[in-house]
A and B are shown apart, each in its own frame.
Chain A
């Protein structure tokens, strides 16, 4: 009892309790910073190697962008982009997702080999664009495939459309005009997003020309020449952070996805003979073959083909073939397709 009161007296004296409380305060402050507050800031790195943008790749990239947007520990995002563009709507989706991310945290894109057309449209959602001197960038414009015959066909008697354009959506001239509207829409994005830095007129922007990165910077198509390190520093600068970690968003997304996927799939594997789970069995088989082909060793980290998984989970419109989905329909469905795509000189 005497010892206890002696210790209490010792701790009540200022020269002992003062430093102890200070140390405790520092520990608690740091603990709060690292555990309650997001802690050490991170710069998310999204790697988009050569990708032709379509519905599936846009879905995956949007997932990366969404993850980076939602994760509060990520204070800025750096994207390595290499894409000749692709489908129009898919490219626009990536522009809007990038722009949504920019509204929460800075986004810096470094354009690698080629960032053209729809790829360039995506980059319009970023705060800052780096390019390599030899990168191919620009190629702003639209390609419409199959705008219909010059002389429109008359509808046959086996189908009854309710309007002159019900089948086709419009004549050839209409589609060509529509393409020009899409081009102008693309131009609006570029002219609006880069209004302060562009040094060429709208007509030159819309020429469809592809520029080398070194020329693109001079014209205001991109902001600066640089490499990954420059781009990461710029991201940190825009985010207002000075010490940070890099986080591989691609990996984090797949890691989370695999964890959740295993949690869903493992109970189902035990009952895969159930007739009601025939579709699930097919899903499992697909994923197993996908996994075995990757020869991965870490079962948590094994990549999964997100696109193939999504086709099982989300109904994908027409399916694989028209015959499967609309076997009775007497006409071939071949609507015009619109692309923001760089085709290249060797067509």
Chain B
């Protein structure tokens, strides 16, 4: 201690012990070392951009056809007409009429109709339609309605578009299952390659088909997958996944069924502007329009007047039937079909021939094609010979280019009765074959 005092002096000794005490306490609490803050983080914001896809101009010169696309709107369908504008305009561009079945509610969506009038309306509308589009039906299709659509497809060769979307309510499987299709409740996504958002997936794998013709890459926005026993027309690659099935497999958002007469697509929103302009989406919409307007559906007499796609000539067997011709013209006008009474047959136009049995030689060629004979009795392939008195017959000769309806009767009143039956639809009670009807008249 003496040495310390001698060495540092008294004040120095005080300082030495003070510093020493401070250091002891300091190291007791703070240990050795201290905090080395990590270097300030610099976030790399330069590369952050929105991955937007290319918008493409689209131009086309479509083939003009005659026909009607019927769009279901009686199952409370969850879409608005404006959302379908791109498809409707393409179908119109191809010469087809677009007819919505059902009434639009206050907010632009479609109202539901109860089952009984729904079936009647569908039956009536499908007689005229060449193609049918069923989009996001909220109400189930009844078995009778499914039968009706199936007949429209399989027997008459009509084409049907089934369109649904996992982001909206629908019961489309009540119809789709009949054709071996099942719209899944999943949605498709891709976390590495997408348009703006992971749910907006690209599809670039297509099977060769009229619907996929010219497609290189499309973008689907709320796509789901469709279960089908056959490979789909468009399928995903390994990077696109399903929200329901986590394993990687091809998913099919676009498929065909019923020998190509049913086209099913599990994304509705890709056709809503401006998404329709992304990549080849417009081309796909046009291909769908081509598909719907290339229906070669066949017609039967029961489909009257649906088989008349254009103006109709009325040819009278003799001039005394002019009033009957007038009635027929009015009746056709009620179905929005223009008709004119002509004196000579124009083989490029649809025709309704109205005559007495005595005039049947005028249409012998058509009668012969149908296996009908008009002599003392009426001979048909479907019935025993029928006495001519108080009777009338209707016969349809149908082909891809021209429709000829022949109405023959034993008197003017018999013909007038048949015209009334045609207007009211009750002519179907007297059908004895797909193309022939026989009537007992008052």
Q: Which residues of A come within 8 Å of B, CB atoms?
A: 14-15, 17-19, 21-30, 32-34, 37, 40-41, 75-76, 99, 102-106, 127, 150-151, 171, 173, 176-181, 184-185, 188-189, 192-193, 203, 206-207, 238-244
Question: Which A residues lie within 8 Å of B49 (CB)?
Answer: 181, 184
Which of B38, B83, B200 gathers the greatest number of chain A CB atoms within 10 Å?
B38
**Nearest chain A CB to B117's CB is how many angstroms away?**
32
Q: Mark B1-32, 1 if CB is under 8 A from A, else 0.
A: 11011000010011111111111111011111
Chain A: CB-nearest residue to B13: A21
Chain B: CB-nearest residue to A187: B48
Which of B1, B4, B47, B200 gathers the greatest number of chain A CB atoms within 10 Å?
B1
Question: Which B residues lie within 8 Å of A23 (CB)?
Answer: 17
Cross-chain contact A176 with B197 (CB below 8 angstroms): yes
Among B172-180, B266-274, B399-407, the stretch in contact with A: B266-274
**Nearest chain A CB to B345's CB is how many angstroms away?**
50
Question: Which B residues lie within 8 Å of A171 (CB)?
Answer: 274
30 residue pairs of the A-B complex, CB under 8 angstroms, read A14-B2, A15-B1, A18-B5, A21-B10, A25-B17, A25-B18, A29-B19, A29-B20, A30-B21, A37-B26, A75-B35, A102-B37, A105-B35, A105-B37, A127-B38, A150-B272, A173-B52, A173-B275, A177-B52, A177-B196, A179-B197, A180-B196, A184-B47, A185-B43, A188-B43, A192-B44, A203-B192, A238-B35, A241-B30, A242-B30
Question: Which B residues lie within 8 Å of A28 (CB)?
Answer: 14, 18, 21
Question: Which B residues lie within 8 Å of A179 (CB)?
Answer: 197
**Nearest chain B CB to A85's CB is how many angstroms away?**
19
Question: Which B residues lie within 8 Å of A106 (CB)?
Answer: 35
Cross-chain contact B29 with A41 (CB below 8 angstroms): yes
**Nearest chain A CB to B440's CB is how many angstroms away?**
57
User: Complex: how many Å from CA A203 to CA B189?
Assistant: 12
User: Complex: how many Å from CA A23 to CA B34?
Assistant: 29
Cross-chain contact A33 with B37 (CB below 8 angstroms): no
Cross-chain contact B35 with A180 (CB below 8 angstroms): no
Residue B51 at the chain A interface, CB threshold 8 Å: yes
Question: Which A residues lie within 8 Å of B384 (CB)?
Answer: none
| A151 in complex: contacting residue of B1, B22, B40, B272, CB < 8 Å | B272
Cross-chain contact A14 with B196 (CB below 8 angstroms): no
Question: Which A residues lie within 8 Å of B48 (CB)?
Answer: 181, 184-185, 188
User: Complex: how many Å from CA A76 to CA B35?
Assistant: 9
Residue B383 at the chain A interface, CB threshold 8 Å: no
**Nearest chain B CB to A24's CB is how many angstroms away?**
6
| B2 in complex: contacting residue of A18, A32, A40, A99, CB < 8 Å | A18
Question: Which A residues lie within 8 Å of B4 (CB)?
Answer: 18
**Nearest chain B CB to A75's CB is how many angstroms away?**
7
Cross-chain contact A25 with B10 (CB below 8 angstroms): no
Cross-chain contact B21 with A188 (CB below 8 angstroms): no
Chain B: CB-nearest residue to A193: B41
Cross-chain contact A240 with B33 (CB below 8 angstroms): yes
Chain B: CB-nearest residue to A26: B21
Question: Which A residues lie within 8 Å of B43 (CB)?
Answer: 185, 188-189, 192
User: Complex: how many Å from CA A26 to CA B21?
Assistant: 5
Cross-chain contact A29 with B196 (CB below 8 angstroms): no
User: Complex: how many Å from CA A240 to CA B32?
Assistant: 7
User: Complex: how many Å from CA A107 to CA B433?
Assistant: 89
19 more A-B contacts (CB under 8 A) besides A41-B29, A180-B51, A203-B192? A14-B1, A15-B1, A25-B19, A25-B21, A29-B23, A32-B22, A33-B22, A40-B29, A150-B273, A176-B196, A177-B196, A180-B50, A180-B196, A188-B45, A188-B48, A192-B43, A239-B35, A240-B34, A244-B29
Question: Which B residues lie within 8 Å of A40 (CB)?
Answer: 29
B:371-413 near A, CB below 8 Å: none
Main secondary structure of the interface of A (DSSP, over half): helix
Residue B191 at the chain A interface, CB threshold 8 Å: yes
The number of chain B residues touching the other chain, given as a range, is: 35 or more
Question: Which B residues lie within 8 Å of A240 (CB)?
Answer: 30-35
Question: Which A residues lie within 8 Å of B269 (CB)?
Answer: 150
Contact (A203, B191) CB under 8 Å given A25-B21, A241-B31: yes
Residue B319 at the chain A interface, CB threshold 8 Å: no
Q: How many A-B contacts if CB must be within 8 Å? A: 146
User: Complex: how many Å from CA A102 to CA B37?
Assistant: 7
Cross-chain contact A178 with B35 (CB below 8 angstroms): no
Chain A: CB-nearest residue to B190: A203
**Nearest chain B CB to A9's CB is how many angstroms away?**
14
Q: Mark B116-148, 1 if CB is under 8 A from A, else 0.
A: 000000000000000000000000000000000
User: Complex: how many Å from CA A206 to CA B192?
Assistant: 10
**Nearest chain A CB to B39's CB is how many angstroms away?**
9
B:219-275 near A, CB below 8 Å: 269, 272-275
**Nearest chain B CB to A171's CB is how many angstroms away?**
8
**Nearest chain B CB to A146's CB is how many angstroms away?**
15
Chain B: CB-nearest residue to A179: B197
User: Complex: how many Å from CA A107 to CA B83?
Assistant: 53
B:143-180 near A, CB below 8 Å: none
User: Complex: how many Å from CA A30 to CA B5?
Assistant: 22
User: Complex: how many Å from CA A179 to CA B82?
Assistant: 26
Cross-chain contact A18 with B30 (CB below 8 angstroms): no
Cross-chain contact A103 with B37 (CB below 8 angstroms): yes
Question: Which A residues lie within 8 Å of B83 (CB)?
Answer: 150-151
Question: Which B residues lie within 8 Å of A102 (CB)?
Answer: 37-38
Question: Which A residues lie within 8 Å of B26 (CB)?
Answer: 33, 37
Contact (A17, B37) CB under 8 Å given A30-B22, A192-B43, A207-B191: no
Question: Which B residues lie within 8 Å of A103 (CB)?
Answer: 37, 40
Cross-chain contact A173 with B274 (CB below 8 angstroms): yes
**Nearest chain B CB to A195's CB is how many angstroms away?**
10
Cross-chain contact B15 with A25 (CB below 8 angstroms): yes
Question: Which B residues lie within 8 Å of A24 (CB)?
Answer: 14, 17-18
Which of B21, B26, B49, B273 gathers the greatest number of chain A CB atoms within 10 Å?
B21
Cross-chain contact B17 with A21 (CB below 8 angstroms): yes
Cross-chain contact A26 with B20 (CB below 8 angstroms): yes
Cross-chain contact A188 with B50 (CB below 8 angstroms): no
User: Complex: how many Å from CA A102 to CA B38?
Assistant: 8
Chain A: CB-nearest residue to B52: A177
**Nearest chain A CB to B145's CB is how many angstroms away?**
30
Chain B: CB-nearest residue to A36: B22
User: Complex: how many Å from CA A27 to CA B272?
Assistant: 82
User: Complex: how many Å from CA A41 to CA B41?
Assistant: 27
Which of B16, B82, B191 gathers the greatest number of chain A CB atoms within 10 Å?
B191
Chain B: CB-nearest residue to A39: B29
User: Complex: how many Å from CA A206 to CA B194?
Assistant: 13
| A18 in complex: contacting residue of B13, B24, B33, B273, CB < 8 Å | B13
**Nearest chain A CB to B7's CB is how many angstroms away?**
12
**Nearest chain A CB to B358's CB is how many angstroms away?**
63
**Nearest chain A CB to B23's CB is how many angstroms away?**
8
User: Complex: how many Å from CA A203 to CA B190?
Assistant: 10
User: Complex: how many Å from CA A189 to CA B24?
Assistant: 42
